[in-house]
Structure 1
Amino acid sequence: MKRITGDLIQLALNGEFDVIVHGCNCFHQMGAGIAKTIAADFPEAFEADKATEYGVETKLGTISFAQITRGTAQFVIVNAYTQFHWRGPKPRAVYPAISRCFERIAEQFPEARIGYPLIGAGLAGGDWSIIAPRIDDALSGLDHTLVEYSG
Structure 2
Amino acid sequence: MKKLSGDLLQLAIDGQFDVIIHGCNCQCQMGKGIALSVKRQFPEAYDADCQTAKGDAAKLGTVSIAEVERHGRAFHVVNGYTQYHWRGTGVKADYEAIRGVMKTVKSTFPGKRIGYPKIGAGLAGGDWEVIRAIIDEELAGENHAYVEYSA
| TM-score interval, smaller chain | over 0.9
Deviation at 1:29, TM superposition (A): 0.7
Please tell me the residue identity of whatever aligns with 2:18.
D
Structure 1 residue 142 displacement after superposition = 0.3
Matches within 5 A, 1:1-150: 1-150=1-150
Shift of 1:40: 1.0
5+ unaligned residues in a row in structure 2: which ranges? none
Question: 1:89 and 1:95 mapped to 2: Cα distance?
Answer: 17
Q: CA RMSD in A?
A: 0.6
Q: Write the deviation string for residues 54-93 of structure 1: whole angstroms up to 9, x where unpaired.
A: 1011100000010000112211000000000011222000
SS, match of residue 124 in structure 1: coil
CA distance in 2, matches of 1:131, 1:90: 16
Letter in 1 for 2:3: R
Paired residue secondary structure (1:5): strand
What's the TM-score once normalised by structure 1's chain length?
0.98
Identity of aligned residues (%): 53
User: How many residues are treated as equivalent by the alignment?
Assistant: 151
Question: In the aligned structure 2, how far is the partner of 1:3 from the partner of 1:74?
Answer: 23
